[in-house]
Every structure is written in C-alpha cells, then in structure tokens.
Amino acid sequence: MQLRFDADVEAFRAEFAAFLDRHLPALLGPAEGFERPRSCSHIPQWARRWQRLLFDNGWLLPGNTEEFGGRDVLLAFVRTDAKLPKHRGISVLLIPTDTPGVVRRPFASVCDINDVDFNEVFFTDVRVPVQNLVGPLNGGWRVATGSLGHERVMLWMGYADLLHQLTVDFSPSGVLERDRYATLVMDSQALRLLGSATLARAARGEEDVPAQSVLKLLGSEALQRACADALNAAGLDGLVHPAVTAPFAALNLDSHYGSWFDRYARTFAATIAGGTSEIQRNIIAERILDLPRNQPARN
C-alpha cells in the first residue's frame, strides 16, 4: 500500500533529491540542525534569524555559536522574516558542514567517548546559496512539522522493538519485579497496537499528527521506566560497565545489548529526540484533550 503525498511534499522530495545529486559523493548522511537554547520549546520561538544578501543571491549568517545535531549536512530551520507571524517567517536551508565558515566540533555522550552523534557548530559569516532553499521562502513550518512527524514515527517504531527485546532480556524475580514486568509487556503491546492503527490511518491518507505525539511519549517513557526497573533488579551487577545483557543480534547497535546502566542512561535521549516529553504533552493537551493553551488568571 502506497502512502499519498501532496504537491508540497513531492516538491520537497524533488528539491532534496537535486541537492543530493550535487553533494552526495561527500555526504555520509543528513541530519536536522536545530538550535537548542535553554528555553527550548517550539521551532517558531527559536529559529535563527538570517540576513538576505540580495547581491549574493543567498543568505549570510553572521558570526555566532549554536549547538546542532548532525554530521555532514544540516537541514536547518531558520527565521528569514522577523516581521511575519512566528509560524510563517521560517525557511528551510540545507547547509553542508564543509561550507566555508562552518566549524563542526563533535562531543561525546555520557555513555561512550566514541559516541559522537552531536556537535557544536560554529558559524562565521556563512554564505548559503539560494539553491539550498527547501520549499518556499518563509514556508518552512510545514516542512518542519513533516520532518518531525516522520522522525517521531521512526522513533516509536524503534522504541517498540527495544521494549519487545526487554521482555526477553529482563528476568523478574519476586512479586514486585513481576508486577513491573507485566507493565512492560502491556506497554509493549499497547505501543504496537496503537502504532499499527496510526499507520493504517496514514496509509488511507488520514493525517493524525497528535497521534504521533502519543506514540512517541508512550514509547520513550515506557522504555525509560522499563530500563530503570531492569537496572534496579540487577542490583550492583547492573552498574558493571561494559557488560553484555542480551544475545548478539545482527544489525543491532552495541547499545542494544550493553550493560544495564548503559541501556538506562541512553533512554534519556529518547525523551528528548523528536521533541521533548513536555512538548508532546502540550500537543496532546491542546489537540486531543482540547485544553486551553494558557491557563486563565485567577482573581
């Protein structure tokens, strides 16, 4: 069954394919480049402001320092018109990290010194040609929501696999641990069933963005809770690192069967990637529960 795409999505795919034709030999893989200030919440509030250089037919980013994920090319969501409403003044630019003026400095995660999926990226008068604009100028909000929606689908599918693997790797003993194991099994089944229903609606062409937030929130927090239970059940042995807690499986990452401490520590990234749990709760509250966006002031 083939999913149906509208004209905007098809145009994005064509532009992205053309970009890859120009840059693919030097690229290992694209990644979303999001600016993450301390008050990280919604894209419209923190998208970086860029200046249009009419004489260069492109954009210039003055000297500044931001933090981004990604390695070889950034799919950057930037504010290109501060006068427009926050959802309408955003554009999407593809920026190879070998562009003059871009300095990429990978940093390790808490789990492994060789785990360098994120980078601190420094921009110094970086010039981005107009050909690297994805979609219409100031029309990047639709691309942003589509990109995040796709990411959340891939994330909850991964969480479903990890939860299922935990049902095999975690051997409970005692009443309390068996109760927590039962919660793990129910969460695993619930995520798969809800996810299958959401995918079926998508295959019929029905858009249900809030449902992706439910799946992402359920999967990430169920995974974190289950790994914490397994770590506690292992006692002091759970802190031994490195260690092997599951049989080797081809194509799985090493972290899928690493120490219980490593598996638990990595779940914190799950509650951040694709939008934090707090953001998912806001989406669910507003778009599913129909709660007011701002709590009215009390007299």
255 shares a domain with 222? yes
Task: Name the β-bridge partners of 69.
Answer: 118
228 shares a domain with 161? yes
Lowest mean pLDDT among 9-23, 40-54, 205-219: 40-54
What's the rounded Cα separation, in Å, for the pair 187 and 144?
A: 29
Tell me the pLDDT tens digit for each residue of 116-175: 777 778 878 888 888 888 888 888 888 887 778 888 999 999 999 999 999 999 999 999
pLDDT at res. 41: 39
Average pLDDT over residues 102-108: 84
**Percent of the chain scored above 70 by pLDDT?**
75
Mean pLDDT of the chain: 79
Comparing 213 with 121, the larger pLDDT belongs to 213
pLDDT at res. 54: 40
Tell me the pLDDT tens digit for each residue of 10-42: 666 666 666 666 655 444 444 455 444 333 334
Comparing 63 with 253, the larger pLDDT belongs to 253
Strands 73-79 and 30-33: parallel
What's the rounded Cα separation, in Å, for the pair 26 and 19?
A: 12
Task: Name the β-bridge partners of 104.
Answer: 121
29 shares a domain with 81? no
The answer to whether residue 176 scores a pLDDT higher than 70 is yes
- Record the tokens describing residue 12, joined without a space: 């994005």
44 shares a domain with 86? no
184 shares a domain with 281? yes
The domain that contains 277 carries what CATH number?
Answer: 1.20.140.10
130 shares a domain with 165? no
Secondary structure of residue 104 in the 3-state scheme: strand
In a domain, 85, yes or no: yes
Q: How many helices (H) and strands (E) does the chain have?
A: 8, 11
**Enclosing domain of residue 51:** 1-69
The answer to whether residue 260 scores a pLDDT higher than 90 is yes
What's the rounded Cα separation, in Å, for the pair 207 and 78?
A: 25
98 shares a domain with 48? no
Task: Name the β-bridge partners of 91.
Answer: 78
Number of independent structural domains in the chain: 3
